[in-house]
Structure 1
Amino acid sequence: MDTHQLPIPIFFAPSKVSEVWRVPYQQRAQEAATWSKKYNITPASEDKIRVGLLLVDVQNTFCIPGFELFVGGKSGIGAVEDNVRLCEFIYRNLGVISAIAATMDTHTAMQIFHPVFWINDSGEHPAPATLITPEEVARGIWKVNPAVAASISGGNYQALQNHALHYVNQLTHHGKYPLTVWPYHAMLGGISHALVSAVEEAVFFHTIARKTQARFEIKGNNPLTENYSVLHPEVLIGADGQPIAQKNTDLIQYLLKFDKLIVAGQAKSHCVAWTIDDLLTEIKSRDASLAQKIYLLEDCTSPVVIPNVVDYSEQAEATFERFATAGMHLVKSTQASDWLA
């Protein structure tokens, strides 16, 4: 394994990171094979120190300006700037990163956090960003849309309504954010669901150069629960006491086997924070010292900031400081030679 930082391939164009385009796979595969020979990049299977890179929801829906939930951060183009650095980090450290796992927020229209799921007495659906409280569900201000029952619960509307009240109560009971109605985003089969083109290209180039298959992890496709963290849905048990979802034990095991695990993605205040928090919970239940092998790329993630509406920057910073206190490393991609070698 070659541990020095590599040059960035000439095909990488920072100006295109904010755009959607088709990756020329065959051409990149040939270039990656040539790159491996030129720089003596060995197969990842030969690595003595296994380094994993977890990319959380680096998808068009969160990372491309104009898409549904673009994460602008403080600068207004945070996710784009993050992904320029992320791509450069992957290329420069190609010979060190053993494997890449990418989480994919994955939705269909009829899910508990989308407008069509809910309706009021006037036949109106809630607007995106509406917060639905237990009191509103109990009073019938917001009810499950009867028309979605056939698709979700086999036509059993009452069971679905019971679940809805149980669900919002569970969020409150466990100190979670209130149920947020999100705009339709990361829709399965659509452009918004795909990885950012430039990042996908970098991941593919790594796959061929290091001869190691990238892992793609679906999350968020359960219609009955939110799934901010890739490791643990927001609610696991339904109103009838039966499981509706389960934590992702297989991925947890996979991630904790690395000697070093690097985490980046969107958004710092939401899916990244929840995923790391769940990982930390698992670590504490096994061996708290395992936190020391987690590295958080602070310059490759941004918080949700909607000017004049909401700013989660302070919460994100406080959460990351808590992770650091637990033993995790807060690092910058541009200083990888200091902490990755």
Structure 2
Amino acid sequence: MTSQITTQLPLPPHFHPSKVGEIWRVPYQQRAAEAEAWTKQHNIKPAANDKTRICLLLIDVQNTFCIPGFELFVGGKSGLGAVEDNQRLCEFIYRNLGIITTIISTLDTHTATQIFHPIFWINSNGEHPTPAATTITPKDIDQGIWQVNPAVAHSITNSDYELLKKHAYHYLKQLSQNGKYPLIIWPYHSMLGGIGHALVPSIEEAIFFHNLARQTQTKFEIKGENPLTENYSILRPEVLLDFAQNPLAQKNINLIQQLLKFDAVIIAGQAKSHCVAWTIDDLLTEIQQIDPTLTQKVYLLEDCTSPVVVPGVVDYTEQADAAFSRFSTAGMHIIKSSATIAALF
């Protein structure tokens, strides 16, 4: 790793941990000039020179999940989970600026009329399900508790309501047969074009600073826009085939191949119990089909991710911890953001 910095860097003056849970505008041109000066001051080389290529994969570090008061803020056990995670994550990026080759950031991306949003479903009174407190199973359809809202067929299946019902029922059955979470009705979140969809400013700023300092393009991966399937994982949707066994959505083959070409992949983001766990699980599945020893190149930042916890409603801490334990057993490394990354390779 002769072309890379082997010690941790200091935090740049512009970083303020107290602002991580706030919304503000990143001053791009100012940060670009500061990044150039920072590069000269600390002799940071372009990422193209890296002998050991390290990817930081950030899962859904967006306002909708990471800012208190937003739609699906991930509070974790502490109640401030995502804010605390992102304070550590920003510090991790800045301290390892000269070591991280590429940052890939995923963006959960939705519109209103999707299978996991309230508008998609109604009961016999025409009422929509309560978000975050409602799951829907095939049994609920059979018993008439919930049905697809006929009005949404206009937008999704060109007004073919029977076709849409077939799609939905097949989807629910596939979730139960494949060991996935049942369909959860979520609050409207990560809405395309809205402020909730944007990256948390502190993370966006750190990513931008890295982009300029290392002269390497940040990569963004969009997921979740298909109206007929959830897409917790960036690597594949929850269900791939429709009721007629035709492709419903596709695996993200290009990203899988990109990740496996790196010497190391470090993963953080939100939420530990859902999008993070499902992404890692899908990556593990791909690795096991190719070469199980490749798990050794995957590192999980356990203190930069939190589970979904809605006090008095749901708590996915146990499921999240069980998933990370399974990933560790498979050969992946569980590390903390304070670790000296250069010493790991």
- The one-letter code sitting in structure 1 at the alignment partner of 2:213 is A
- The one-letter code sitting in structure 2 at the alignment partner of 1:274 is W
1:112-131 to 2 correspondences below 5 Å: 112-129=115-132, 130-131=134-135
Alignment counterpart, residue 27 of structure 2, candidates 20, 24, 29: 24
Contact 1:50 1:259 in 2 (8 A): yes
Instruction: Please list the CA deviations of residues 151-204 of structure 1 after superposition, one character each: whole Å capped at 9, or x if unmatched.
Output: 111111110011111110111111111111100000000010011000000000
Contact 1:44 1:211 in 2 (8 A): yes
- For residue 13 of structure 1, what is the aligned residue in structure 2? 16
1:302-341 to 2 correspondences below 5 Å: 302-337=306-341, 339-340=343-344
C-alpha displacement of 1:337: 4.7
Write the distance in 2 (CA, Å) between the matches of 1:339 and 1:105: 33
Instruction: Please list the CA deviations of residues 297-332 of structure 1 after superposition, one character each: whole Å capped at 9, or x if unmatched.
Output: 011011112222222222211211111111100000
SS in 2 for 1:308: coil
- For residue 265 of structure 1, what is the aligned residue in structure 2? 269
- For residue 253 of structure 1, what is the aligned residue in structure 2? 257
- For residue 54 of structure 1, what is the aligned residue in structure 2? 57
Contact 2:66 2:82 in 1 (8 A): yes
Write the distance in 1 (CA, Å) between the matches of 2:175 and 2:38: 49
Write the distance in 2 (CA, Å) between the matches of 1:291 and 1:112: 33
1:214-293 to 2 correspondences below 5 Å: 214-293=218-297
- For residue 82 of structure 1, what is the aligned residue in structure 2? 85
Aligned pair count reads 341
- For residue 72 of structure 1, what is the aligned residue in structure 2? 75
- For residue 206 of structure 2, what is the aligned residue in structure 1? 202
- The one-letter code sitting in structure 1 at the alignment partner of 2:76 is G
Contact 2:99 2:342 in 1 (8 A): no
SS in 2 for 1:262: strand
Write the distance in 1 (CA, Å) between the matches of 2:135 and 2:77: 24
- For residue 302 of structure 2, what is the aligned residue in structure 1? 298
C-alpha displacement of 1:141: 2.4
SS in 1 for 2:7: coil
In the superposition, the TM-score normalised over structure 2's length comes to: 0.97
C-alpha displacement of 1:338: 7.0
Quote the RMSD (CA, aligned, Å): 1.0
SS in 2 for 1:270: helix
Write the distance in 2 (CA, Å) between the matches of 1:174 and 1:67: 31
Contact 1:138 1:165 in 2 (8 A): no
- Measured at CA, do residues 168 and 64 of structure 1 come closer, stay the same or move farther in structure 2, by a change above 3 Å? same
- The one-letter code sitting in structure 1 at the alignment partner of 2:80 is I
Alignment counterpart, residue 134 of structure 1, candidates 131, 138, 143: 138
Write the distance in 1 (CA, Å) between the matches of 2:75 and 2:42: 36
- For residue 109 of structure 2, what is the aligned residue in structure 1? 106
Residue identity over aligned pairs, in percent, reads 68
- 5+ residue gaps, structure 1, are none
1:128-207 to 2 correspondences below 5 Å: 128-129=131-132, 130-207=134-211
C-alpha displacement of 1:122: 0.8
In the superposition, the TM-score normalised over structure 1's length comes to: 0.98
Contact 1:137 1:164 in 2 (8 A): no
C-alpha displacement of 1:339: 4.3
Alignment counterpart, residue 43 of structure 1, candidates 40, 43, 46: 46
